[in-house]
Amino acid sequence: MDASQAQAYGDYSMNAASILTTVISRPTADRIITDVGAKGLTQQRRTEGFTATPGLGRIKGTEVWIKGVYDEHAIIYDRALRDAVRVGDRLEIYPNHICPVVNLHEFAYLVSGGEVVEKIPVLCRGKLQ
């Protein structure tokens, strides 16, 4: 499931896919910049209906949403999260729509217990005809 499906379902415990991102800056008292943006998450917003989301992806384990993306950066506004993370820390993001996100990546990594157990190529990537 992705973030929009979990919003509709009301539960994030079934979400298996996430994007790993690294905190690269904490430029203000309530802002975090990470190293994944539109090229890794898309710019797709879900603004209407029962799958609507308040941002561009939800930070796993929090109620915090990505507010904006550029090509290779995401912007998060949340003072508590900003105070809890440091540059170099990693965050997991549940993307709004997993289908186009998978198409943006060459590999998917299966993780168990915090360890990568398998690297799988995304063979259908860019195969539109």
pLDDT score at 126: 77
Reference 121, options 103, 106, 111; nearest CA is 106
- pLDDT tens, residue by residue, 34-67: 999 999 999 888 888 888 899 999 999 999 999 9
pLDDT score at 50: 87
pLDDT score at 65: 96
DSSP run (H or E) holding 103: helix 98-103
Which whole-number Å values give the CA distances from 126 to 91, 101, 106, in the listed order?
27, 12, 10
Domains of the chain (ranges plus CATH)?
Answer: 3-121 (2.40.37.20)
Confidence of residue 1 (pLDDT cuts 50, 70, 90): confident
- pLDDT tens, residue by residue, 74-127: 999 999 999 999 999 999 999 999 988 998 999 999 999 889 999 999 998 877
pLDDT score at 92: 95
Residues 6+ apart with CB under 8 A from 71: 37, 38, 39
DSSP 48-100: SSTT--SSSEEETTSS-BEEEE-SS-EEEE-HHHHHH--TT-EEEEEES-HHH
Q: Are 95 and 53 in contact (CB under 8 A)?
A: no
pLDDT score at 120: 95
Instruction: Provide the 3-class DSSP secondary structure of residue 32.
Output: strand
The pTM of this model reads 0.90
